[in-house]
Amino acid sequence: MNKFDITLVGAGLSGPLLASYLSKRGYKVDLYERRSDMRKAPQGAGRSINLALSARGIKALRDIGIFEKIQKNLIPMKGRMLHDKNSNTHLQLYGQNKDEVIYSVSRSFLNISLLDHVERQKDIQLSFNHELTDADFENKKINFGDKAISFNRLIGSDGFTSQLRNLMLKKEDLKFRKKPLGHGYKELTIPPSLNGKYKMDPNALHIWPRGNFMLIALPNMDKSFTCTLFAPMKGVGSFEKIKSSDDILFFFETEFPDTIQLIPSLVDEFKNNPVGKLASIYCEKWNYKDIALIMGDAAHAIVPFFGQGMNASFQDCTVIDSLIDKNSGDLGAMFNDFGTNHVENGHAIANMALENYIEMRDSVNNLDYKKHREVELLLERRFPNRFIPRYSMVSFHEIPYAEVYRRGEIQLDLISKFVSGEISEVKLNEEIIKNLSLFV
Ligand SMILES: Cc1cc2nc3c(=O)[nH]c(=O)nc-3n(C[C@H](O)[C@H](O)[C@H](O)COP(=O)(O)OP(=O)(O)OC[C@H]3O[C@@H](n4cnc5c(N)ncnc54)[C@H](O)[C@@H]3O)c2cc1C
């Protein structure tokens, strides 16, 4: 019998966080990671260099006691800085209060901080170079290649390609669905200026929205920015069409003229950096009996356009922690509860992230969107406990995503009717009071 209460597979962003929550409760945790220790050996190209951290993620980092340490390395971003084709910029604030900001954080810094934290906990055993290959669920054994170990409860935080999910699918139809976006991404760098300063405003998330594709840039602590080009894999304006040095320069000069000065190694980076593919993962159930559970990207990988994949995965850890109490410490019951009842939240954020791609790359530019946004902000001031713009509910609150989605649909419908003249302002106010219950 394994002496560990819980065995976790995957020490990316969410695995060490969950291990920390569990050890805080006094559980003994065995955490395995396929890669070598990122603190000792530099890793190859990862899944984005920096990330947007917001309320749900911050809450979880606070709970395990490392937010204060992380905080020093966060760069607040107060809104979207839109760049048009004439190199003009315009800031759209994310919220109305000055603390309604999201934060840029380095993925490797965050991962390393979480691993360091885990290693300080005496009840967590951390093992690198262990790739889960097989599982015998009924006999509670898993394999890392030739090495077999037993477990009591098994949780997969092994990310987008989750092997634990693959193994669970052999035992039960979890209604797994992978929805490829058909668009990919490539990272590029805006280095600091010659006198060591940021070349653009660091307190914004920069976007060059261009309809079917877009470029974004997030600030880093070393005064550089990491840019990401999101574009279709095939067809007009796609990665497939931009190959030669001339293609690259022509594309950027035409679409993002202000970046030519900003990205000195544009051609080299474009040619050498990989194109990452994007997809959403849906499963109708995240547990196999009371034996195994998946969470984070393993359960609900989403496209990155709401900056929520990690935040959602961190919130999973908070939810699991609270469900242990709700189920009076019965971990098997918690597996069933989380694996069934939290699924709708994973689906909701997956869908909102897809919708936000269209908003970021296209709608932000159109007049309807701007009018809609003005009304949203006005209603939030008028009904602070009933009406919160969807972006704010996702990024600055911890409201379950499915509830955010539900309220967001009602809000969208009402504002669309008001903006098109279908309903009056009096009617709009009445409908908000009638349909959007108070947040308590
Ligand atoms: C381009 C891009 C930009 C993004 N930007 C944001 C953002 O701004 N904000 C945000 O919140 N989210 C963002 N995300 C999403 C975020 O990266 C993920 O949601 C987050 O990393 C999920 O954490 P996780 O722990 O579930 O998975 P991961 O962080 O991927 O960790 C999984 C771990 O499991 C390990 N593993 C895999 N297979 C095995 C195996 N068989 N055995 C053992 N170990 C294994 C892996 O090596 C890895 O360490 C972005 C994603 C992309 C692609």
Ligand 1 centroid to 423 CA: how many Å? 44
Residues flanking ligand 1, CB < 6 Å: 9-15, 32-35, 47-48, 51-52, 131-132, 157-160, 163, 185, 276, 296-298, 304, 307-311, 313
Q: One digit per residue, pLDDT tens: the chain, 440 residues?
A: 678 999 999 999 999 999 999 999 999 999 999 999 999 976 655 556 999 999 999 999 999 999 999 999 999 999 999 999 999 999 999 999 999 999 999 999 999 999 999 999 999 999 999 999 999 999 999 999 999 999 999 999 999 999 999 999 999 999 999 999 999 999 999 999 999 999 999 999 999 999 999 999 999 999 999 999 999 999 988 999 999 999 999 999 999 999 999 999 999 999 999 999 999 999 999 999 999 999 999 999 999 999 999 999 999 999 999 999 999 999 999 999 999 999 999 999 999 999 999 888 887 778 888 899 999 999 999 999 999 999 999 999 999 999 999 999 999 999 999 999 999 999 999 999 999 999 87
Per-residue model confidence as pLDDT tens digits over 360-399? 888 777 888 889 999 999 999 999 999 999 999 999 999 9
In the 3-class helix/strand/coil scheme, how is the chain assigned residue by residue? Answer: CCCCCEEEECCCCHHHHHHHHHHHCCCCEEEECCCCCCCCCCCCCCCCCEEEECHHHHHHHHHCCCHHHHHCCCEEECEEEEECCCCCEEEEECCCCCCCCEEEEEHHHHHHHHHHHHHCCCCEEEECCCCCCEEECCCCEEEECCEEEECCEEEECCCCCCHHHHHHHHHCCCCCEEEEEEEEEEEEEECCCCCCCCCCCCCCEEEEECCCCEEEEEECCCCCEEEEEEEECCCCCCHHHCCCHHHHHHHHHHHCCCHHHHCCCHHHHHHHCCCEEEEEEECCCCEECCCEEECCHHHHCCCHHHCCHHHHHHHHHHHHHHHHHHCCCCHHHHHHHHHHHCHHHHHHHHHHHHHHHHHHHCHHHCHHHHHHHHHHHHHHHHCCCCCCCHHHHHHHCCCCHHHHHHHHHHHHHHHHHHHCCCCCHHHHHHHHHHHCCCCC
Distance 297 CA to ligand 1 centre (A): 6
- Ligand 1 atom nearest residue 130's Cα: 43
pTM of the model: 0.97
Asked if residues 368 and 419 have their Cβ atoms less than 8 Å apart, the reply is yes
Q: By alpha-carbon position, which residue is closest to atom 14 of ligand 1?
A: 309
pLDDT recorded at residue 149: 97
